[in-house]
Structure 1
């Protein structure tokens, strides 16, 4: 009987030890799965973020390649710096993704009065030190090149009430002077317009398109 008791006690001890070991293994396995999942998820998030950035960069590069050649052609014909044209197209149309650009090919926020070739859309204006939302009537174009040419002719010919409105833009020797002139000549109400245009030109090296224009 004592031997049987010792045998039973030993077997129970081994069962408890095995159960404890199994619990430890399970916990370790759970921890391992958690660690792998955590770092795997972080890597997935990082990969997804990097992929999104790469896609955005590709879209931006494609947009510049799309509008730059015609901007250069217009620059040679009308002496408007291509870097200014491209930067304004980027800023005004949000890289061609705004409703005005994607649906109506208006890359510059150019307004009109004729109901037959315009569309009323909401826009933001900076007035009396604050941004307000208003309804504006904007030109509708059949092609983005038509929009670009209309923008260039606006700078060259001015507005219906002031044919010399953008004279300083045309006389500017470089993109910095032209960006400042856009602000002072009243192209946009955004107080940060000049800074935004200059940053875009510098970030995407748009100055290279100005070579040989002036």
Structure 2
């Protein structure tokens, strides 16, 4: 009988040893799953943080230029929503080289070598985008750029002093955005829709109250 008991115990130990690889595999799979979902959660958190940071930067940009846009609107009749919307679009939220290095938020060009820089730019010509070298104004402060933009719309160009009068006389941002396109401010065929989109997305029309 004693021999049979010892054999029975050995069989139990053998079965237990045979099950150990299964437990190890299950543990490894669980660790992999925990790691995967943990990493996925970490990645999602990083993306959320990055999105939040970008939004904060955009809000800071609007907060920076809005007071000046309102002041210029009161002085010259340019709708602040148009000023802010163009600044966002033309400067890529202040991140373009022209904006970040030379404080030019509106792609305003010039001819004087003393206060201009030559940079590559894209223009829509004959149904296609082409890259050219353009000479752009350089400013010591972004407020100078904003004032120059207002004066450009009010006084027009050297070859047409009334070029942007439709923009100035517009009663709302939609009419003004259409006028920017028809008056030739930009060559981009989608300029009007882009301006309207950014104004509506960030509720920039609220800054127009009391201007017109």
User: What TM-score does the superposition give when structure 1 sets the normalisation length?
Assistant: 0.95
Cα shift at 1:120: 0.6
Q: 2: distance between equivalents of 1:9 and 1:98?
A: 82
Counting only pairs closer than 5 Å after superposition, residues 121-136 of structure 1 correspond to structure 2 as 121-136=119-134
Aligned counterpart for 1:139 among listed residues 137, 140, 146:
137
Counting only pairs closer than 5 Å after superposition, residues 1-214 of structure 1 correspond to structure 2 as 4=3, 6=4, 9-10=7-8, 12-214=10-212
SS at match of 2:121: strand
Q: Which moved more, 1:11-20 or 1:201-210?
A: 11-20
CA deviation vs aligned residue, 1:55-93 (integer Å, no higher than 9, x gap): 111001100000000000000000000000000000000
Q: 1: distance between equivalents of 2:87 and 2:5?
A: 88
Q: 1: distance between equivalents of 2:112 and 2:13?
A: 90
Structure 2 gaps of 5+ residues are: none
Q: 2: distance between equivalents of 1:11 and 1:126?
A: 87
Cα shift at 1:8: 6.5
Q: 2: distance between equivalents of 1:10 and 1:197?
A: 84
RMSD: 1.4
Q: 2: distance between equivalents of 1:94 and 1:109?
A: 11
Q: 2: distance between equivalents of 1:180 and 1:30?
A: 62
Cα shift at 1:16: 3.0
Structure 1 gaps of 5+ residues are: none
